[in-house]
DNA sequence: ATACTTGCAAATGATTTGCCAGTGT
DNA sequence: ACACTGGCAAATCATTTGCAAGTAT
């Protein structure tokens, strides 16, 4: 979770695919490494390092070291919704972007293309190509706007 | 810098105005408190707690406690650009929003209204009212897009 | 006079690192 | 075999909290 620019995404649909890709890049596939990958493939949502370590019964530092390596390879990314710690997900599996309501904490996950209009608007006006995969879009949800 | 929803903004143009507003709300105006306010009024950019503590020669915890109080009053807000720690600024003075380039670290500050089209797009499509004052918009700047 | 503020030190939460024993290739 | 990986403990970074002494009202 270092501040360095991100590796190009390494999208893998299956565990086998990911293992192959990592092998090809010369990485060793230890038991813990495979467990972390499995866990990431098994869930639909970004998960915390804490959660992974607990669930897999392995040391937090090991989890972090593996996630770090996976991020370096572009296989994994982490997101920040409100003020919470980083949450990790597979790049290819969870290219979602999030709307976070700061009043009620509601989180709306968006499929990869759903923010394209927004992205285009930003691009037209400022020339920046935006990604909302690192920081959620924070605001007020429809319900709280009414209330 | 707690996760709680924000107080309504308390926009003050001058130090005197801010002092008056805080007094009115029953807050004591200690020397350190005034120093922090002065420092915030003196700069155009969001600053780190560290920076304030150093510059003003006061304890970090005092700085944090004051910033916390000011945020509670809606006078101050903090922003996160990339992975860096929180940066603090006066609400009324720095209602800016930021575009952050994750390749080169470039930061573009936008005036309050400049993202309105973007905000409207988000609102039309998802009903959310977005604020980019807490998390910058992260992406790739025009220069890096070319390179 | 009294309640709020300070500095200092120690606690916290998230993440990182050192080290040495263990394991994948 | 040998370089890489794991667990454990300690370090770090940003931020928070406890406490006794000091200060604003």
The rounded Cα B104 to chain-centroid distance in angstroms is 22
Res. A96: pLDDT tops 60: yes
Three-class DSSP category at A90: strand
Average pLDDT, chain A: 91
Best-predicted range by mean pLDDT (A63-67, B42-46, B93-97, B111-115): A63-67
For residues A118 and B120, give the distance between their C-alpha atoms in angstroms, rounded to a whole number: 9
Residue with tokens 């006006």: A125
Instruction: Kindly report which amino acid residue has its CA closest to the C1' atom of nucleotide C4.
Output: B28
Question: Does pTM surpass 0.75?
Answer: yes
Across the range B28-46, mean pLDDT stands at 95
Tell me, in Å, how far CA of A64 is from C1' of C22?
A: 19
The two beta strands, B107-110 and A97-101, are: unpaired
For residues A23 and A6, give the distance between their C-alpha atoms in angstroms, rounded to a whole number: 20
B101, B121, B130 member nearest A138 (Cβ): B130
With a CB cutoff of 8 Å and minimum separation 6, the contacts of B30 are none
Res. B4: pLDDT tops 60: no
Domains of chain A listed by start with CATH number: 15-75 (1.10.10.10), 97-146 (3.30.1490.190)
In chain A, which residues have their Cβ closer than 8 Å to the Cβ of B102? 5-6, 131, 134
Tell me, in Å, how far CA of A5 is from C1' of D1?
A: 37
The beta strand positions in chain B, using DSSP E, are: 76-79, 87-90, 97-101, 107-110, 129-131, 137-140
How do residues A105-122 score in pLDDT, each as one tens digit?
888 989 989 999 999 999
User: For position B130, what pLDDT does the model report?
Assistant: 95
Give yes or no for a contact between A91 and B105, defined as CB atoms under 8 angstroms apart: no
Res. B5: pLDDT tops 80: no
Categorize the per-residue pLDDT at A11 as very low, low, confident or very high, splitting at 50, 70 and 90. Answer: confident
The two beta strands, A76-79 and A87-90, are: antiparallel
């Amino acid at each position: 979770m270092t501040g360095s620019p991100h590796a190009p995404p390494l999208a893998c649909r299956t565990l086998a695919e990911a293992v192959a890709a990592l092998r090809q890049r010369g990485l060793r596939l230890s038991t813990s490494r495979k467990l972390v990958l499995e866990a990431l493939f098994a869930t639909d949502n970004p998960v915390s390092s804490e959660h992974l370590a607990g669930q897999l019964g392995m040391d937090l530092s090991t989890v972090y070291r593996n996630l770090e390596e996976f991020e370096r390879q572009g296989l994994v990314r982490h997101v920040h919704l409100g003020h919470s710690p980083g949450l990790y997900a597979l790049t290819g599996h969870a290219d979602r972007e999030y709307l976070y309501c700061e009043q009620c904490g509601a989180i709306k996950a968006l499929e990869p293309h759903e923010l394209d209009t927004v992205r285009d608007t930003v691009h037209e006006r400022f020339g920046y190509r935006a990604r909302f995969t690192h920081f959620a879009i924070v605001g007020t949800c429809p319900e709280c706007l009414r209330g």
